[in-house]
Amino acid sequence: MTPDTTPPEDAGAPPAEDAEAAAAPPPAAGAEAADATRVVRAGLPAPEPYEPALPGPAFAAHYHLPGDVTAAPYDYGRDANPTWTRLEAALAELESPGVPAEAVAFASGMAAITAVLMAVPAPPPDGAPRGHVVLPADGYNLVPGGLRTLLEEHGSEVRAAPTAGDAQAALLDGARLLWLETPSNPGLDVCDIRRLAAAAHAAGALVAVDNTLPTPLGQRPLELGADLSAASGTKALTGHGDVLLGYAVTRDPALARRLRTWRKTAGAIPGPMEAWLAHRSLATLELRTARQAANALAVAEALRATPGVRDVRHPGLPSDPAHALAARQMRGGRYGCVVAFTLPDRAAAERFLGAARLVDEATSFGGVRTTAERRGRWGGDAVPEGFVRFSAGVEDTADLVADLREALAYALAR
């Protein structure tokens, strides 16, 4: 039995016709369409003579609003925006093709994650135990770190366990919400979404999955039993390093209303330009993620063949401890753009980053330009000083591998 998710009244839900559009396949790209077709057409309005295929962003704080406001499709810029509506229709189609779903866009990935963890678990009935939230101990460091503190300050009990080995399953008794991150960031461990979702539902908990690294083309948590799929669109989804955006998708209209109410109340809304740029970028998602996945695998193989490099992790490597599960759970050979590895010490990692010509030293991941960083410089991640998180871009594979090898030779020769 899952917890009661009856939401408060929400005046910020999209109009009925937009909700129907969000649940319907895009023009000429139904549930049977291939990913490469779907991403190009997802969320587009019906063709209109002499109008652009993707209308430009709607810059509006308010709208002409005569008469009865309850019937208004758009009333105020914090409630809804036509540009969000189109993007949300596209995201729902990509995360849940062929099955009605609703997406809610946010100002950033952390805004979406915070909304799910704070707004989705319904308060228990009077006198009932409050229950707890289960987090990954090895996920993105703001989740088991700052966000855990926020949850505890607001009265939630939080428990955490590592991603590998489905260790979170042992903490589900009395849980209200299970948050999964698979593959985990930055360690790239994988858990079994289907198994953990079944166990969580049996315990009365909802299940949300951070789908940032795989994108909906590499993994569809809702098809594996999760109640919500959330992500930072800042990364591979938009892919150009120029947009901050987040979203959450669910097949449960009550959960979607709770998320919209949170977004409206907290003001965690995306800008119309960011939403439009994100929708524009979806058209190349299949092309970008295919090249990134191929580059990441080539980089991982080159790293494994380099003496002095240890603990190479990438779910696409047949030798990786997560590969067998990832191969069952992830789609289309897309195991993500991220590779993790460890050099002998901090100095070696910094020499590598300084010597690489095609690798920008930057945080985040998923962009068209290859980036990497010594992850320990931030604190908060339980990684060695020489640990490097590497995000493969879309450069020529041979060029990227050659640059990697030259930089490693320099870094490890001293």
**Which residues are catalytically annotated?**
78, 140, 210, 235
- Helix ranges restricted to H, 188-229: 193-202, 215-218
Q: Rounded to whole angstroms, how far apart are CA atoms 107 and 75?
A: 19
Number of Cβ within a 10 Å radius of residue 17: 10
Q: Rounded to whole angstroms, how far apart are CA atoms 17 and 85?
A: 10
Under 8 Å between Cβ of 210 and 336: no
Which sign does the torsion angle of CA 211, 216, 218, 221 carry?
A: positive
Number of Cβ within a 10 Å radius of residue 9: 7
Q: Rounded to whole angstroms, how far apart are CA atoms 179 and 135?
A: 5
Q: List phi, psi (to 5°) of 337.
A: -95, -5
**At 411, which amino acid appears?**
A
Q: Rounded to whole angstroms, how far apart are CA atoms 118 and 120?
A: 6
Under 8 Å between Cβ of 172 and 181: no
